[in-house]
Chain A
């Protein structure tokens, strides 16, 4: 009885044809409960055995009816400021792909999983989407904590896992993951570009303070920045290292301390609501005019902050992402995307949407490459992940190359804010575009060690391009 109830209610076997619900109900009436259980167990055992047998050959397969792609993203909690734009963008990209006939002719069906439910819940949801809904590819995730937790799960499940947004450099520096790949840069490349840009536009600073969120990203990004600062500018003094609680509603005390210390440079890798709150409260108290602010994630807050952010603040976007990218703002793809995104959400796209574009484009290209290698047949998961190695593809804002360690090389762009009449919020000026190859930790090295021995000459490399704001 309890079993029947459970099998009726159990939501995790939507694709299991083993339990015809109508018959299950009847069997209670006919009191052949035990018998039906036995029958079903036999069917199940047979199906299970057949399933394992089918899964054995790792080569090319028949085309499936649809390609289920699971997307782990924040739909709740403070990080949904990135997660929801990421999802909105993914919807647009998948619609576009399906309108063109899908990947290798197979339509894509995205399934979303909420990262905000907590890591343990995320892991079980991730498993459910792979094992129950039959996802062949997972895009996961935003938080470094999630990526760290999901990488071994993806190995276990043998599913292609595209890390679409998380930044921790340790994933591929400290671990080897066969099934995971990252279609973007990492904290190392982002922070190196930030340091080089700061040295370029404000070479004469002597004191630095940091205000980062108190969690892995805030701590790790500061560890890299401070190691790089010591190597590039040994005489610089770090006057305050503040790590307010993640999601803190009030930064008064931190701002008072900074006002009293008067550092030349204030760095904060904060984002989302925390960054907005901090910048607002600091701006109201004149702190933004007193020190040079370096905000490597501020691109995602520019539109919201509107008139709050003055000119002269150093801003970045975890890569080369920017809807007014000096090289690509007039490209047909970019204009179409900005238009479609603005029509859907009412705001301009921010960096997670570009990260999503890289992940989806990379996935399509990897499938095409693997499909070609398999002679036009549907490639296996192993063939897809192998196709990622050495893959080079164009995204909305540049070119991404995937290294043999599955780490992506992504260009990095920083700028200084400027106020212009065309937009009611600050835009990038004095931009510098750093090639991914230049600022990404070399293969086989660890970012912290590489930062500790970086030379200032790196910042004057010829491959760096610069741009000013143009209408």
Chain B
């Protein structure tokens, strides 16, 4: 637990300070945080051994809710748009969760994929409503009643997002330690035994699914606001795959993992966009293979693992000094 706090706090300090030095990176950092939120949702499900290749659905759904509301000038305010869109995604996750928690493993993954692809096709096909493949523009809303210029809007959005990420990460960390969260691990290791204990594994998984939908929705709502444009591509299966990618890249061991992963993802992508603009997919693919084969616990595991290796001698030393 303490390691988790150290890593999280280090990451947080870095994120608080960094935009002050490099003001043009706020948007990219915000995007990374949004993807981190969605990957955090994936992490919750991974605890139960379930992989969703369709969380782009919730990401895109709340992004479109924001786009429609902002265009209609209905609730044209960040402090309204974000909670409403997130709640809408949560509602959708609850509806789909009602039946999807009956499925496990590959069927769980495929069903998520299929539903998100239905949504993706609808977004592309209903041209007159959704703007088709070109998507919709999101006019910049007010923030706490203030109409802001781009720079200050981006600045505040970043710190608001960062604060929301901290809250979300702490909440998920607590949840994973709660009985509900512990039961998730039991679903992964031995579901039958869990049922024998009188715990409904469906109810447990439903809670996790709802939470993951909310997290992805929160990320989607913010990304719609900061990039000012939404497209069906947000719901495409490759995007959902990226969330799983980020979760594994960062490591599923702790709640700071997905955010580490998302930052790393943006960094690799940034380098690839500069030095290999035509092959950035391949660069990411190679990176993913390296992580899987050489650091299966992800970045988080790498950092935490090193500390673990470093700690015992220190502890021994201290014990020795005490004598």
User: Which residues of A does B touch, CB under 8 Å?
Assistant: 1-3, 5-7, 9-14, 16, 18-19, 37, 40-41, 44-45, 48, 75-76, 112-114, 117-121, 123-125, 127-128, 131-132, 143-145, 148-149, 152-153, 156-157, 214-216, 219, 245-246
Contact = CB atoms under 8 A, between A and B. Distances in A.
A77 to B, nearest CB: 10
Contacts of B135: 119, 145, 149
A112 B274 CA distance: 9
A262 to B, nearest CB: 28
B31 A124 contact: yes
B273 A114 contact: yes
Nearest to A157: B150
Contact of A124 (B22, B27, B134, B277): B27
Contacts of B23: 48, 131
A124 B17 contact: no
Contact of A120 (B125, B132, B229): B229
9 contacts: A2-B11, A3-B17, A7-B18, A11-B267, A13-B21, A124-B227, A148-B134, A214-B125, A216-B134
Given A2-B11, A128-B24, A216-B127, A11 B231 contact: no
Contacts of A117: 273, 280
B124 A215 contact: yes
Task: Tell me if A's interface is mostly helix, strand, loop or mixed.
Answer: helix
Interface in B220-239: 223, 227-231, 233-234
Given A6-B263, A128-B270, A149-B229, A215 B21 contact: no
B25 interface: yes
A10 B134 contact: no
Size band of the B side of the interface?
A: 35 or more
Contacts of B72: none
Contacts of A245: 124
A119 B25 contact: no
Please give me the 10 A-B residue pairs with the lowest Cβ-Cβ distance, nearest first. A145-B134, A131-B24, A2-B10, A3-B14, A11-B270, A156-B150, A215-B133, A149-B229, A216-B134, A2-B14
B21 A1 contact: no
Nearest to A4: B14
B231 A118 contact: yes
B267 A10 contact: yes
Given A2-B10, A132-B24, A215-B124, A37 B17 contact: yes
A10 B25 contact: yes
A6 B278 contact: no
A127 B20 contact: no
Nearest to B273: A125
B125 A152 contact: no
B197 to A, nearest CB: 40
Task: Tell me if B's interface is mostly helix, strand, loop or mixed.
Answer: helix
Contacts of A149: 135, 137, 228-229
A16 B21 CA distance: 9
Query: Which residue, of B28, B229, B230, has the highest number of chain A Cβ atoms within 10 A?
Result: B229
A124 B17 CA distance: 20
A92 B130 CA distance: 39
A9 B263 CA distance: 10
Given A1-B10, A128-B28, A149-B137, A112 B277 contact: yes
A66 B287 CA distance: 34
A128 B25 CA distance: 8
B230 to A, nearest CB: 8
Nearest to A145: B134
B281 interface: yes
B235 to A, nearest CB: 11
A124 B233 contact: no
B271 interface: yes
Contact of B277 (A113, A143, A157): A113
A10 B18 CA distance: 10
Given A16-B21, A127-B27, A219-B127, 8 more contacts: A10-B18, A11-B271, A18-B22, A120-B231, A128-B24, A148-B229, A149-B137, A216-B131
